[in-house]
Structure formats: C-alpha cells, structure tokens
Amino acid sequence: MTQMVRMTEKSKATIRLATRGSKLALTQTQRVADAITRVRPDLEVELVTVTTAPDVHLDRPVTEFGNKGAFVFDLEDAIREGKADAAVHSMKDVPGDIPEDMAIVAVAERVDPRDALVSRTGKSLENLPPGAHIGTSSVRRAGQLLRLRPDLNIRSMRGNVDSRLRRLREGGFDGIIVAAAGMERLGISMDISENFSPEKMVPAAGQGMLCVEAPVDSKFSQLWSAIDIADESICAAAERAFIRVLGADCHSAAGCLCTLKGDRVVINGMVCSPDGKRFEAVEVSGKREEAEKLAEQAAEDILKRGGEEILRAPAQ
C-alpha cells in the first residue's frame, strides 16, 4: 500500500521518495528531502509511503520475510512500478548485494552510529538487576549483551521506536536496545540510559546512515552526486564490504564500524554467537583510500579464525 504526501508547491518539477511509514522513517526521509531542496530548490519533493510486510506482521520474525532486505523489497517494487523515483533507507537495513537494476546512489547523512540502552529506571547496563529482561530482536545486539552480562534474559521485541518505548513503559522489560541515531533524529536522546562504545558493542554496518537507492539509469544522477557525502560513502562501502565478504546480512551477529581520522581509516569488525560465548573481533587501520580493501581483509581474517562457524551457530 502506498500513500503520497505532497511537500511543496505543485508548480515545481517533482521527485518522489519512497519511505516506510513510521515516524522515524518519515523523519529520516524528510531530512533527505531537505538535502535535495537545498541543492535543487526548483524541485518539489513527494514522500511516497510504502507499507512493508515486516511492518504489518510484527508478531513474526523478520527472517520469515527473507534473509536479506526485508525492509527494502517493497520500496524497490514501488520504484519499479513507477510510484517513486528513489527510496530512502537506513543503510543498516540494506543487504550487501542489491538487485542489478538498483544502486546505492547517495549516502546523505550519518549521525551517532552507536547502540544505546533505554532502561525503565534510567540505570546503565552494569547497574541493572541480575536477570534483567532486555528487549531486542537483533542477534548481533543479543550476543554482545550476553557477552557483557551472561545473566541477562534477552526477549524478542520488534516494532518502531515509539512502540518499543511504549512497551518498555508498560512493564515486562527492564530495558531495550535501540540505535542512538534513531533516538537523536526523533529528538529523544535524553531518554537514553547508556550509549555503548564500539569497544563494548560493535554497531551494525551502516548504522546511523541514511542512503538513497535508485535505478541504475536514474535521471537524477547529478542530484544524487550533489547530496552524497564523500566521507560517509567511503565508510558505507567499507562496512558493507566487511559484511559481504563474511557472507552475513542485517540479521547476522556481525558488526562493523569504519572511522575516518584525517587521511587514515580504522576498521573495527566482529562476529559472535547468539549466546555471546564465541566472539571474534578485528581492528585494522590504513590509508583512507584503501578503506574497502582493508575491510575485506578484516573479514577474511575473521573467517580464518572460525568466523563462518560462529555465524552459523543457532540461536538459543
């Protein structure tokens, strides 16, 4: 199901951006729309709201809708059906391999890439009671949490940020894990109890990034180049390369963070088992122009240390 929201005057040329319908998704897509109008004030932007299958069936695991790109497929179809010119995604939701007729044409923004704890009492992870109940549907987050606190009870929790915060307030959970970026974009970072450093919890590849996906023959190619942020694109390519070489996806217990420091780059990557008992991490650094190659080498190093077996470990 799609719904169009007209953003500016009808007299202007139009570009249509497909987006999921949550408050966060609409907020994120509006940020990309704003970036577009800053460089092309002659363009009108329409947000085309697309309801994805995982958003409808919150009682079912995301993996039931395909191992990769469950939140992306329906937006791609909206483009193919002529309902939208491009789609805006959270980069962490985009699989390493995308269809041949589509391309990631811009990385428009990155904010705080860290994972964050929102606890009912405001306590940090260390200070939560023994056996605390933590809500997350991410095996990457679950495995790293259990590595830090093996006593925790990890319970599946799906839904948008608003619904997860509501369930936390209603009780039954001592805390939930969210992306700090989503909290920041919604203007509710003050509700975060603890931001996890990458040393404690390696984020998902692309976490905090907004990207634009469009057909490879998009007529707006010059526009995409204008809103693309070169440094963020370097990091996106590196982090996605790490996941791709591992053979992992957004549902795997694998994470990667690329950090640029002047003309240098640092790549941190990890894989872990869902119970946190097996964990392999890697850190490499080098020239920024070699970021993607370094990330591939980091992934190959982890595979040599049993990474593939760890990724195949069944959830408990």
Question: Is residue 203 included in any domain, yes or no?
Answer: no
Give residue 164's domain range.
115-195
Distance CA 139, CA 6 (A): 38
pTM of the model: 0.89
- The count of domains in the chain is 3
Catalytic residue at 219? no
Question: Is residue 316 included in any domain, yes or no?
Answer: no
Q: Give yes or no for a contact between 172 and 285, defined as CB atoms under 8 angstroms apart.
A: no
Question: Is residue 204 included in any domain, yes or no?
Answer: no
pLDDT at 65: 43
Residues 10 and 32 in one domain: yes
Residues 190 and 80 in one domain: no
Residues 80 and 216 in one domain: yes
DSSP 13-68: EEEEEEE-SSHHHHHHHHHHHHHHHHH-TTEEEEEEEE--HHHH-TTS-GGGG-SS
Question: Is residue 200 included in any domain, yes or no?
Answer: no
Residues 48 and 137 in one domain: no
pLDDT at 7: 46
Question: Is residue 235 included in any domain, yes or no?
Answer: no
Residues 166 and 213 in one domain: no
Catalytic residue among 93, 174, 249, 275: 93
Question: Is residue 222 included in any domain, yes or no?
Answer: yes
Catalytic residue at 211? no
Question: Nearest 5°: CA angle at 95, between 207 and 194?
Answer: 20
pLDDT tens, the chain, 316 aa long: 555 555 444 567 999 999 999 999 999 999 999 999 999 999 999 999 998 776 665 555 555 545 556 779 999 999 999 999 999 999 999 988 889 999 999 999 999 999 999 999 999 999 999 999 999 999 999 999 999 999 999 999 988 899 999 999 999 899 999 999 999 999 999 999 999 999 999 999 999 999 999 999 999 999 999 999 999 999 999 999 999 999 988 778 999 999 999 999 999 999 999 999 999 999 999 999 999 999 999 999 999 999 999 998 776 5
The CATH number for 10's domain is 3.40.190.10
pLDDT at 54: 62
Catalytic residue at 93? yes
Catalytic residue at 140? yes
Question: Is residue 155 included in any domain, yes or no?
Answer: yes
Catalytic residue among 20, 92, 114, 240: 92
The CATH number for 294's domain is 3.30.160.40
Catalytic residue at 164? yes
Catalytic residue at 185? no
pLDDT at 239: 97
Question: Is residue 89 included in any domain, yes or no?
Answer: yes
